[in-house]
């Protein structure tokens, strides 16, 4: 089994997704100004109330997203949180494949629920608003169809960096998982 496959299998426990690590927030490059950039136009600044409402909407979305991932660990069906992700989210697809691999041929996961402990806005970049989310996970056991233990993970807390876009509805554009 390749290290990438093993990493994908560790989706809910180890959060050792291949290619993730380092800074816990998605790598979001700020758009560089170009010579053709026009002068800024005047726009109404959001009020403190509008900003607070927007931030709460993002926090509510993040909590729903983490809850959907948690539910998928018991069902093997990532469709709910994939519907909340943009089609461009590569790590979302990798996590979904890892989950599918874990449930392939009658496998299952015992335990492993996720809970968002906190979410903190970091910055806005070309992938959207970037948030760091502390996620608590309960212990879990990955089992084969015969009930043989494939992997076990202790309870843990990890950081999930989410880049969230808003093109009429909030969607996770990219995520980055890192063990804290």
Residue 38 lies in a domain: no
* Domains of the chain: total: 1
pLDDT per residue as tens digits for the range 121-151: 999 989 999 999 999 999 999 999 999 999 9
Nearest residue to 94 via CA among 107, 78, 108, 80: 78
Asked whether residue 28 is assigned to any structural domain, the reply reads no
Q: φ, ψ for residue 101 (rounded to 5)?
A: -60, -40
Q: Is the dihedral of CA 58, 63, 64, 66 positive or negative?
A: positive
Closest CA to 109 of 142, 69, 75: 142
CATH number, domain of 64, equals: 3.10.450.50
Task: Read off the pTM.
Answer: 0.74
Give the pLDDT confidence of 64-111 residue by residue, as tens digits: 999 999 999 999 999 999 999 999 999 999 999 999 998 989 999 999
Is residue 151, in this structure, part of any structural domain at all?
yes
Please return the burial class of 135, using the count of CB atoms within 10 Å of its CB with bins 0-12, 13-18 and 19+: buried
Query: Is residue 169 in some structural domain?
Result: yes
């Amino acid at each position: 089994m390749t290290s990438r496959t093993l990493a994908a299998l560790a989706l809910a426990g180890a959060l050792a997704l291949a290619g993730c690590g380092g800074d816990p927030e998605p790598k979001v490059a700020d758009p560089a100004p170009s010579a053709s950039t026009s002068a800024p136009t005047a726009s109404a600044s959001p009020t403190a109330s509008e900003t607070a409402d927007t931030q709460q909407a993002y926090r509510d979305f993040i909590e729903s997203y983490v809850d959907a991932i948690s539910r998928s660990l018991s069902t093997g069906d990532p469709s709910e949180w994939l519907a909340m992700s943009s089609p461009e989210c590569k790590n979302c697809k990798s996590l979904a494949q890892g989950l599918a691999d874990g449930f392939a041929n009658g496998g299952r996961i015992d335990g492993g629920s996720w809970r968002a402990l906190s979410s903190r806005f970091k910055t806005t970049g070309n992938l959207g608003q970037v948030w760091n989310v502390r996620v608590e996970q309960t212990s879990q056991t990955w089992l084969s169809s015969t009930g043989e233990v494939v992997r076990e993970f202790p309870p843990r807390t990890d950081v999930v960096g989410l880049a969230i876009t808003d093109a009429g509805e909030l969607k996770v554009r990219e995520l980055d998982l890192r063990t804290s």
